[in-house]
Every structure is written in C-alpha cells, then in structure tokens.
C-alpha cells in the first residue's frame, strides 16, 4: 500500500468541503472574473467545441483502454481502465450530490444583464462544474496510471481548456470550475487508492 497516496486522498477528502464552501461565498471576485472572460455574446464556436468533448472523452478514454486490455489479454491495462471508469463514475456522483446540496443558480440566471451564455438551455445547477470535474478526473487518472509527461501535459491542458470554456460560454462561475477541478482530482486519487488496495496486481516471479 502506498501510504503517501493514502494520506493525499484523505487530505483531499477532508479539505474539499471546506474549500468548496468558501468558494461559493466569495461572490465579488467570482462574478468580476467571470465578466472579464465571458463575451457579449460568446461568439467563438471553438470553446463550445472544446466544452462538448468533456463527457465523450471522459467515458471514451477508459472504455477504449478496457477494450484494448480485453483484446490484448492485458490484466494491467484492464485494471487501469476500470480505475479510470471508477474515477469518472465517483466524480459524477459526487458532482451531482454537490449540485443538489449547494443548489446554486447558473450565473446568467442570477445576473441576466451581466453574463451572456452561449446556450441558455443547459439544465442543472451551477456548482460545481460537471464538465470540469469529469475532465480533471480523466486527466488525473491518466497521469496516475502512466506518469509520462507526454500523457500528463496534454491531458491537463485539455482539462484546463474545458474549465476555461465553461467560463467563456457563461455557464459557470470561476469557483464552480475550481471546485469541479478539485472534485475531479479527488475522485481520481481516491479511485487510484481503492484500486491499489482492493485489486493489487501481482508481480510476476522469475
């Protein structure tokens, strides 16, 4: 068991509720930063395209890993794919739970004359950002599994781009995005810890 990883997971789990509550109540910087990023109207379809990749890639990447593991009869890859799927699933559940608990309006609903959404038909509450939490769960899970810069850097660049897109499109406050990233990272670390504890991969003996 990796004791350091266990300590990190517990620390994130204990800190997250306090962190999220403080972000929700810090309204002034939140709306001011959002207004500096959100355009009137947000005309770039690029950020809409990036935003739309969050859910398909968060499911598609671990599903692709699982398929490759099954085809190649690779138990390690199958274990890694299931860890990623667990990370995304746990993150999605935690995100929806927080949305219900916090019950925060979308910024364009509270500030209709100051925030201009690309799509005002998106349903659901604002805190935290589900797109961001899923993308950061996926990026963190990949970084924990592969530990290679050419995997980690693009993965987190994509996750950060998804987070920024939610601001540009006027769908979330900055605190929603920051909290979403925190939830995603926590979900990935906890899933990684559980996977190692419950399903350890036996090393081959010569």
Mean pLDDT for the stretch of residues 149-172: 96
Are the CB atoms for 82 and 66 separated by under 8 Å?
Answer: yes
Three-state DSSP state, 101: helix
Q: Considering the domain boundaries, does residue 22 fall inside one?
A: no
Largest CA distance in the chain: 69
Between residues 163 and 76, the one the model is more confident about = 163
DSSP per-residue codes, 47-78: HHHHHTTHHHHHHHHHHHHHHHHHHTT-HHHH
Q: Considering the domain boundaries, does residue 151 fall inside one?
A: yes
Provide the pLDDT for residue 39. Answer: 81
DSSP per-residue codes, 102-137: H-PPPHHHH-TTT---S-TT--S--SS-HHHHHHHH
Number of domains in the chain: 1
Question: Looking at the predicted structure, is the pLDDT value of residue 153 above 80?
Answer: yes
Q: Considering the domain boundaries, does residue 203 fall inside one?
A: no
Q: Considering the domain boundaries, does residue 70 fall inside one?
A: yes
Condensed to tens digits (0 to 9), the pLDDT of residues 2-48 reads 555 554 455 455 455 545 555 555 468 999 999 999 988 777 789 99
Provide the pLDDT for residue 206. Answer: 42
Instruction: Give the residue numbers spanning the domain of 96.
Output: 3-12+29-198
Mean pLDDT for the stretch of residues 138-161: 94
Mean pLDDT for the stretch of residues 140-155: 93
User: Rounded to whole angstroms, how far apart are CA atoms 57 and 59?
Assistant: 5
Q: Considering the domain boundaries, does residue 167 fall inside one?
A: yes
Is residue 94 within a helix (H) or strand (E), and if so which, with residue range? Answer: helix 75-102
Provide the pLDDT for residue 2. Answer: 52
Q: Considering the domain boundaries, does residue 19 fall inside one?
A: no
User: Rounded to whole angstroms, how far apart are CA atoms 31 and 6?
Assistant: 36
User: Rounded to whole angstroms, how far apart are CA atoms 20 and 104?
Assistant: 12
Q: Considering the domain boundaries, does residue 74 fall inside one?
A: yes
Which CATH number covers residue 129? 1.20.144.10
- Lowest-confidence region among 79-83, 135-139, 166-170, 180-184: 79-83
User: Rounded to whole angstroms, how far apart are CA atoms 168 and 38?
Assistant: 4
Between residues 20 and 196, the one the model is more confident about = 196
Condensed to tens digits (0 to 9), the pLDDT of residues 111-125 reads 999 999 887 777 789
**pLDDT grade for 202, boundaries at 50, 70 and 90:** low
Q: Considering the domain boundaries, does residue 20 fall inside one?
A: no
**Mean pLDDT taken over the chain:** 85
- Lowest-confidence region among 31-45, 96-110, 150-164: 31-45
């Amino acid at each position: 068991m990796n004791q350091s990883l266990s300590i990190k997971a517990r620390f994130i789990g204990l800190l997250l509720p306090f962190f999220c509550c403080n972000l929700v109540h810090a309204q002034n910087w939140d709306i001011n930063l959002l207004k500096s990023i959100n355009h009137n109207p947000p005309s770039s379809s690029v950020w809409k395209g990036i935003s739309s990749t969050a859910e398909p890639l968060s499911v598609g990447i671990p599903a692709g890993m699982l398929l490759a593991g099954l085809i190649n009869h690779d138990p390690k890859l199958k274990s890694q794919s299931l860890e990623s799927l667990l990370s995304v699933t746990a993150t999605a559940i935690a995100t929806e739970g927080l949305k219900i608990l916090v019950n925060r309006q979308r910024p364009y609903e509270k500030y209709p004359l100051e925030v201009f959404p690309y799509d005002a038909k998106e349903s659901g509450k604002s805190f935290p950002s589900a797109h961001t939490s899923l993308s950061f769960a996926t990026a963190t899970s990949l970084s924990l599994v592969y530990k290679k810069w050419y995997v980690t850097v693009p993965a987190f660049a994509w996750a950060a781009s998804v987070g920024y897109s939610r601001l540009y499109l006027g769908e979330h406050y900055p605190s929603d995005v920051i909290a979403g990233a925190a939830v995603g990272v926590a979900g990935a670390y906890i899933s990684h810890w559980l996977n190692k504890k419950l399903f350890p991969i036996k090393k081959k003996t010569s």
